[in-house]
Structure 1
Amino acid sequence: MASPRKLAAAAGLCYLVTHAASIGGLVLYGPVLNNSGYVLGRGPDTRVLLGALSEVILALAIIGTAVTLFPVARRHNEALAAGYLGLRTLEASVIIVGVVSLLSVVTMRRHATQGPHPDAALLALDKALVAAHDWTFLIGPDFVCGANTVLMAYVMYRAGLVPRFIACLGLIGGPLIFASAIAELFGAYPQISVWGSFTAVPVFAWELSLAIWLLAKGFKPSALTALPGARTPAAAVRP
């Protein structure tokens, strides 16, 4: 197994990449998400394709966070570590479904539908595919992310791998964003709204503070020496 310090640094870097890639994807997708006539025009395909690339990187980085944390987390709680790995993989998979739906809009714009009312057909498909992307955003980064955040934050809290206040952000943020996703599902408020953004703050803070801590400090040494089979400092120098 790679050293805990290297795993911590890799996990921190992956978390930072997820933040940058998610913001980049949202910004770059603007023309296709906010313009219902995109499929009929000469839309900026390159920008949308860059947004798709950004979200592919996001999905890979999401899996990277789980893969790099798993070797250490599993020695404290193997079941929760495996659950985190599975849920992060599911989250990434849902995001990729959303990417494919928007790439399909680009394909339709390039190859006009034949028929008596091609414009109406294209607009209907455009709306359906954009709606599919919006739903994947709700299921993946909201529902599934809320669940996996609780799992890893709990492991971090119980094991003391990072400062408790960081883990508490995840323990608060996970249920909050999950509850917000339920509210959005039943139409209490839109996905992109003040309330939606407010409820996402603790999870954002959890991932950002965790990333910075893992890059700067790594896992707390006291938690690592408490691992089963770990060598104490005295044992490390004993002949």
Structure 2
Amino acid sequence: MNSYRKTAITVGILMLGATVAFMIGSGLIDSVLSNPEYLNHVYPNKTKLIAGMFLELMDAALVFGIGMLMFPILKQHNEAIALGYFGTRVMESVILVVSILSLLILIPLSNEFINIGATAGSYYQTIGTLVINGHEIAFQLAMLVLGLGSLMFCYLLYTSKLIPRLISVIGFIGYAALIASSCLEIFGVNAGMILYLPGAAFEIIFPIWLIVKGFNERSFK
């Protein structure tokens, strides 16, 4: 039981760490790319962009660690779902890495754009737009994979009673909303932040519960 307690605390810390790393990292990246004249700003602000990318890569690594640590816990209750959840976390991590690293193209692109001047840079603007659009689509695909895997995860949490069922229900609703949001975004519909809120609530409540209370020990008997 002591090992389960340690795993619960570790998973909780990793989840909170992933959330913080992603929020700060995406904030740094957005502060550079949200400018309408982003090609003039990427190269001069490359340190900020790279720092944001590093934090998002950290998020991807922590995502993998969460899946790896949860597998032996979930396996005791349903091996198929445990494998499915672990597989989706690996897929999510890989897609996130591809999405993040694609932004590296913008740094030399911005440098060349600045050197030749904006009036002759329509070609560079087209490439930059394609890179950013590809980055966004890959991110939404990662969120779609996260949502699908986490629906299985929350279902198993609910049936196994590893945590209070109310928290599992919040997670199920949150990830269903995330799937809807990702699908809308992929098809070009801006769903806004409202559909992220239930999932965000779960990803704060769940890790705090794990750190403070841990898994329900009776579910292992």
Does the TM-score normalized on the shorter chain lie above 0.5? Answer: yes
Whole-Å Cα distance in 1 between the matches of residues 103 and 2 of structure 2? Answer: 38
User: What is the CA–CA distance in structure 1 between the aligned matches of 2:127 and 2:90, rounded to whole Å?
Assistant: 28
CA distance in 2, matches of 1:196, 1:138: 13
Match of 1:230? none
How many residues of Structure 1 are paired with residues of Structure 2 in the alignment? 219
Gap runs ≥5 in structure 1: 226-239
Partner of 2:20: 20
Report if the CA contact (8 A) 2:64-2:93 is conserved.
Answer: yes
Task: Name the SS of the counterpart of 1:56 in structure 2.
Answer: helix
Q: 1:121 to 1:2 in 2, by over 3 A?
A: farther
Check conservation: 2:5, 2:214, Cα contact below 8 A. yes
The corresponding residue for 2:140 is: 138
Tell me, yes or no, if the aligned pair for 2:39 and 2:114 is still in contact at 8 Å.
Answer: no
Q: Could you state the TM-score of these two structures normalised by the residue count of structure 2?
A: 0.91
Supply the distance in 2 between the matched residues of 1:150 and 1:101 (Cα, whole angstroms). 28
1:213 matched to 2:206? The reply is no
Q: Which residue of 2 aligns with 1:63?
A: 64
CA separation of 1:9/1:186 partners in 2, compared to 1, >3 Å: closer, same or farther?
same
Shift of residue 111 of structure 1? Answer: 4.8
Write the mapping of 1:180-199 to structure 2, written as runs, cut at 5 A. Answer: 180-187=181-188, 189-190=189-190, 195-199=191-195
Pairs within 5 Å for 1:1-239: 3-41=3-41, 42-111=43-112, 119-141=121-143, 143-187=144-188, 189-190=189-190, 195-225=191-221
In angstroms, what is the RMSD of aligned CA positions? Answer: 2.2
User: SS in structure 2 opposite 1:162?
Assistant: coil
Give the drift of 1:112: 5.5
Superimposed CA distance per residue, residues 94-139 of structure 1 (whole angstroms, 9 cap, x where no aligned partner)? 1111111111101322355999x85122211111111111111211
Residue 198 (structure 1) shift:
1.1
Whole-angstrom distance in 2 between the partners of 1:180 and 1:197:
9
Letter in 1 for 2:8: A
Percent sequence identity is 29
Query: Structure 2 counterpart of 1:24, which letter?
Result: I
Letter in structure 2 aligned against 1:199: L
**What amino acid is the match of 1:76?**
H
1:138 maps to amino acid: Q
Contact 1:37 1:123 in 2 (8 A): no
Contact (CA 8 Å) 1:113, 1:122: kept in 2 or not?
no
Q: Distance in 2 between matches of 1:102 and 1:35?
A: 15
Distance 1:111-1:158 versus aligned 2 partners, 3 A rule: same
Q: TM-score, normalised by structure 1?
A: 0.84
User: Larger Cα Rg: Structure 1 or Structure 2?
Assistant: 1
Query: Which amino acid letter does the alignment assign opposite residue 10 of structure 1?
Result: T
Higher helix share: 2
